[in-house]
Chains A and B, each alone.
Chain A
Amino acid sequence: MKLEHLNQAYGERAVLRDFSLELPDSGTVCLFGPSGCGKTTLLNCLAGILTPQGGTITGLSGKRISYVFQESRLLPWATVLENVELVLPPNHTQTALEWISRAGLLPYAGQYPRKLSGGQRQRVSFARALAYGGDVLLLDEPFHALDRAAAQEMSALLQQSFPESLKILVTHSREEAERLSDRIYFLEGPPLRVVSCREQTAR
């Protein structure tokens, strides 16, 4: 996947300016950088939420993209099960329940999000993204609402799931970046730029 000369600005503030990056087809790539440097904007461009004002993204057409957002983005009026089922084709309740179970939330399948803690909501968000599957999984600070144990549980689930897909993890935690990624891009901005890149050969 190639990102070439991307440009994106919010008013006068350029978040992406002539930004280019090449990404592998599989494995876990980490975009590591401080908050507000433009990582989420980049993910939103990849997810199709934002159409960059300039530049091109190649190698993404026809690919299925899944996303664990920074905020859980669950439907408040739907149960945990309905939230996960929502992204699946009809009559896939069993699949939804399996992913809810793997996220450790089976007893809460019938609960509404407002009855759950922030961490539990984020687990539902994980279950939804993993149930949807896809060729590219975007993860925007996915562990920020989780305690240490839950974060480890979710990262283990993430590592076991879809080994053939590309996972793009955005984080500002060096420990998470080093533990989970095959390649780390160190970023700065705005405007976003790659400072350095490190292959995690030891993993």
Chain B
Amino acid sequence: MSRGAIGRAARVLGVAAFWLAVWQLLYQSVGQEILLVSPAQTLSRVFELSCRADFWVSAGGSLYNVAAGFVCASLLGVVLGALCCRFRFLYQLIYPLLSAVKATPVASFIILALVWLQSVRVPAFIAGLIVLPIVFGNVCQGAAAADRELLEMARVFRLGRWKTLRYIYLPTVAPYLAAAFTTGMGLAWKAGVSAEVLANVRSSIGGRIYGAKIYLDTADLFAWTAVVVVLSVALERLLLACFRRIPWGEGKP
């Protein structure tokens, strides 16, 4: 391990230790476990839960809901974004709708979706609805940032649509897409789990959080929240790692 990597790891551990210490101090000063549980209690509860089969069923259920919404919305966002870059009128048609979706409170959509759909489908729908405008917006922004001079070069040398897309648009859009995916993944978990709570979806983390609220089980609430955070960060990292393996921008300054 290089000295730089050791330094980085030490910094990360230092920051984590600081916030755990703050949490512990808060726990001690509040002194009521119904309001705040300690980091050790949370960790121990996560461990206890993870020894039960229904933990994995719930975590898997939420993972499925969020991933399904995220993947569908990302694909739709990329396709819509690409079409809107090609056909300006389509952008003018779609942009106000997606802007409205972005600005509308998630709770309104969750309640509407509960009226429209079966409750098990609501979390994936909501996760997708949150991700779609982000991916769409970033694809459009990335495509608009394509270097005009390179596009002129492509035109002179008659590169054609495929080469122009592959060699100019994709490397330009890639960082915007990566940013959309990281932001979108976090928001998809937030919105997806919120929808699970409001829809009280069984076999999901949201359903478990709802149960924790009913029984005022703060340790369970913290444990499931910790699971959401871990899953969200892990998926985000995995996604970025996959993204980096695609050789579309390695020489970019």
Give A residues with C-beta under 8 Å from B: 44, 47-49, 65-67, 69, 71, 73, 75-79, 86-87, 112-114, 128, 132
**Residues of chain A with a CB closer than 8 A to B171's CB:** 75, 77
In the bound complex, CA of A86 to CA of B248 (Å) = 14
5 pairs, CB–CB < 8 Å, chain A vs chain B: A48-B155, A77-B252, A86-B159, A86-B167, A128-B157
Interface size on B, residues (CB 8 A): 18
In the bound complex, CA of A62 to CA of B156 (Å) = 13
**Residues of chain B with a CB closer than 8 A to A75's CB:** 150, 167-168, 171, 251
Q: How near does chain A come to B159, taking the closest CB pair, in angstroms?
A: 7
Residue of B whose beta carbon sits closest to that of A112? B251
Contact B251 A49, beta carbon cutoff 8 Å: no
Q: With contacts A49-B155, A86-B159 known, what are 16 further pairs, Cβ within 8 A?
A: A47-B156, A65-B156, A67-B153, A67-B156, A69-B153, A73-B150, A73-B153, A75-B168, A76-B253, A77-B251, A78-B251, A79-B251, A86-B167, A87-B159, A112-B250, A128-B157
Give B residues with C-beta under 8 Å from A: 149-150, 152-153, 155-157, 159, 163, 167-168, 171, 248-253
Binding site secondary structure of chain A: loop
Contact A71 B149, beta carbon cutoff 8 Å: yes
A-B CB proximity, top 8 nearest: A112-B251, A87-B157, A77-B251, A73-B153, A77-B171, A114-B253, A67-B156, A77-B252
Residue of A whose beta carbon sits closest to that of B153? A73
- Given A86-B159, A86-B167, A87-B159: A76 and B153 within 8 A (CB)? no
Which of A69, A77, A86, A112 is the most central at the interface, judged by chain B CB atoms within 10 Å of its CB? A77
Contact B156 A48, beta carbon cutoff 8 Å: yes
Choose among A44, A66, A77, A79 the residue that contacts B157 (Cβ–Cβ < 8 A): A66
In the bound complex, CA of A195 to CA of B167 (Å) = 42
**Residues of chain A with a CB closer than 8 A to B251's CB:** 75-79, 112-114
**Residues of chain A with a CB closer than 8 A to B152's CB:** 44, 47, 49, 73
Contact A77 B249, beta carbon cutoff 8 Å: yes
Residue of A whose beta carbon sits closest to that of B174? A77
Q: How near does chain A come to B41, taking the closest CB pair, in angstroms?
A: 49
Contact B248 A77, beta carbon cutoff 8 Å: yes
In the bound complex, CA of A79 to CA of B247 (Å) = 12
Residue of B whose beta carbon sits closest to that of A125? B153
**Residues of chain B with a CB closer than 8 A to A76's CB:** 251-253
Q: How near does chain B come to A83, taking the closest CB pair, in angstroms?
A: 9
Q: How near does chain A come to B172, taking the closest CB pair, in angstroms?
A: 9
Residue of A whose beta carbon sits closest to that of B247? A77
In the bound complex, CA of A113 to CA of B249 (Å) = 13
**Residues of chain A with a CB closer than 8 A to B252's CB:** 76-77
Contact B149 A69, beta carbon cutoff 8 Å: yes
In the bound complex, CA of A128 to CA of B249 (Å) = 21
Residue of A whose beta carbon sits closest to that of B251? A112
Choose among A71, A86, A112, A114 the residue that contacts B163 (Cβ–Cβ < 8 A): A86
Which of A67, A75, A128 is the most central at the interface, judged by chain B CB atoms within 10 Å of its CB? A75
